[in-house]
Amino acid sequence: MELRAERSIWNKMIIRCTDSSSENFAYYGGRGIKVFQPWLGAAGFERFIADVGPRPGRYLTLDRIDTNGDYEPTNVRWATRLTQAQNRVVPLKPEPPRDHWAQVVADEVKTLVKLLCDAGWMANDIAEAIGTGRTSLYAWRLGDRDMPAKKLLALRALAAEHARKVG
């Protein structure tokens, strides 16, 4: 017996739990879901089949009984898609890394400061208007430091006020 489908299912199980570049890693390995150690490596597939058995029906999929549990002999079964759908965790979109949000703020600060500078404001004047020093303003613009929300709101208000005056 070739067990081609089972080998593919076994391989995908390992990938989504161990390969951080996998599209579904965040929902499996990223949540701490692991694969039973004896199912990994060169003899892993044979051990997997010995523990779980061949897929008894063409339309069955590998299902974890406890969706927060690992892939291990006592927590997996061959199940219909309906059974599996009723036993799933609704995935939430993973939060982007914190660095992403820091970059979003830095890009906004950079844009607002550039707009004000293009309109004739000096960096010292912008910093003074929002109650900070020029060094902090540059650090926030570069994303080297997090900008406090109050300062970001003050910068937004300054840019909006300037836009109203010239607009």
Of 20, 23, 19, 32, whose CA–CA distance to 64 is shortest? 32
Indicate if the pLDDT at residue 117 is higher than 70: yes
| Digit-coded pLDDT (tens) for 58-95 | 889 999 999 889 999 999 999 988 888 777 766 666 66
Q: Does residue 162 lie in a domain region?
A: yes
- Whether 76 and 145 map to the same domain: the answer is no
The answer to whether residues 80 and 137 belong to one domain is no
Domain boundary among 24, 57, 86: 86
* Mean pLDDT value across residues 44-63: 94
Tell me the C-alpha distance between 42 and 72, whole Å.
Answer: 17
**Domain for residue 14, yes or no?**
yes
Boundary residue ending a domain (86, 118, 135): 86
Number of compact structural domains in the chain: 2
Sequence-ordered list of residues with C-beta below 8 angstroms from that of 30, at least 6 positions apart, any chain: 20, 94
Q: Is residue 53 part of a domain?
A: yes
Q: Is residue 67 located within the same domain as residue 10? A: yes
Token code pair at residue 152: 């970001």
- Segments forming the whole domain that contains residue 82: 4-86
